[in-house]
Amino acid sequence: MKRVTVVSTGGTIASGKASDHSVVADRKGAALIATLHDPLDGMAVEVDDFASVGSYALDLATVYQLVRCIAGHLERDDCDGVVVTHGTDTMEETAFIADLLIGSDKPVVFTGAQRHADMPDTDGPRNVADAIRVAAAPIARGLGSLLVFEGDIHAAATVSKTHTARVDTFRSAGYGKLGEIDNGVVYIQRRPERRVIADHGLVEGIELVKPGLGSSTAYLDFCASAGVPGVIIEAFGRGNAPRGYADAVARLVKAGAIVVIASRCPEGRTLPVYGADSGATTLQAAGAIFAGELSAIKSRLLLSALLAAKADRNAIAEAFARY
């Protein structure tokens, strides 16, 4: 008998129509299990109601508590794996934090729904059943934190929500899924490298700046004057930025911030190739670190965890170089 703990946090999967016709998270974990279509033979499922909120309303402190809650269940001998039901909006972020901070080999599987629980064609029950099967599967051990949706299994480090409403929203651009669940059977086609770091919590206040063509440096200068601990710039292409950004990065670094350059392209790595006018080589000369293939939102979380662990600039650059 495999034993899986379902930690319920809210999201569309736990939502229904409120009296004002908006969609609100109001269901607990037991309600999600009660709607499963088929029996899960050979599996015992317990529920832990952590929260009942839309994932857009979560904050880093709450997500860190959630990660500690998941890790606590995994430490138990009578728990073989954990499923986390979560809103889709920020699921890839929470899953990535769990991937970074939880060293257990037991599966941690995030899932949710795009169609709420009162819709006749809600995708929640199938996703939950698939996620439980993955959490109980010996083949899914050692893969880090996973995201299961619409029959696909994705790695937390690479997956993104790509469509606002469709049920096949999650994709791992440039990598593809790790595997799938077909007719109740779990298949794993590839195994990602694990990059767990020491858990010292998460630092708040790292800002994410997304410039467009010809954007000003005003927000970067605000960040320097506000003394923020770090700034992620979601730059163009290979990691280039609008004119003036290299000087603004130098001012930020002088003010004590760690600056990381990610790309707005969904595929490919940032690399200092272009020179002059805030091309990536000038950002590097100004003291910026490059995020490799890690997305800007996940770079923000990695930097948050590294700064909490008191990593110095070299250790931070080494950690990003692994992506």
Residues that bind ligand ASP (CB under 6 A): 11-12, 54-56, 87-89, 112, 114
Closest approach of ligand ASP to the CB of residue 119, in Å: 12
Which CB sits closer to ligand ASP, 122 or 172? Answer: 122
* Longest CA pairwise span in the chain (Å): 63
Q: How far apart are CA 61 and CA 65, in angstroms?
A: 6
Which CB sits closer to ligand ASP, 87 or 242? Answer: 87
Q: How far apart are CA 49 and CA 199, in angstroms?
A: 24
Which CB sits closer to ligand ASP, 88 or 278? Answer: 88
Which CB sits closer to ligand ASP, 56 or 187? Answer: 56
The 10 Å Cβ neighbour count of residue 151 is: 16
Which CB sits closer to ligand ASP, 114 or 145? Answer: 114
Closest approach of ligand ASP to the CB of residue 81, in Å: 22
Active site residue 12: yes
Residue whose tokens read 């939880």: 102
Which CB sits closer to ligand ASP, 123 or 234? Answer: 123
Closest approach of ligand ASP to the CB of residue 9, in Å: 9
Closest approach of ligand ASP to the CB of residue 11, in Å: 3
Please give the helix or strand (H or E) that residue 166 lies within, else none: none
**Candidates 12, 122, 281, 282; catalytic one:** 12
Beta-sheet pairing, 145-149 with 108-111: parallel
Q: How far apart are CA 249 and CA 26, in angstroms?
A: 44
CA dihedral 252, 254, 256, 259 (to 10 degrees): 40
Nearest Cα neighbor of 266 from 179, 158, 183, 132 is 158
What's the distance, CA 98 to chain centroid?
8
3-state secondary structure of 72: helix
Provide the token pair at 126. Answer: 């199938």
Residue nearest to ligand ASP (CB): 87
Q: How far apart are CA 262 and CA 258, in angstroms?
A: 13
Closest approach of ligand ASP to the CB of residue 14, in Å: 8
DSSP 8-state symbol, 150: T
Closest approach of ligand ASP to the CB of residue 114, in Å: 6
Please give the helix or strand (H or E) that residue 186 lies within, else none: strand 185-188
- Catalytic residue numbers, as ranges: 12
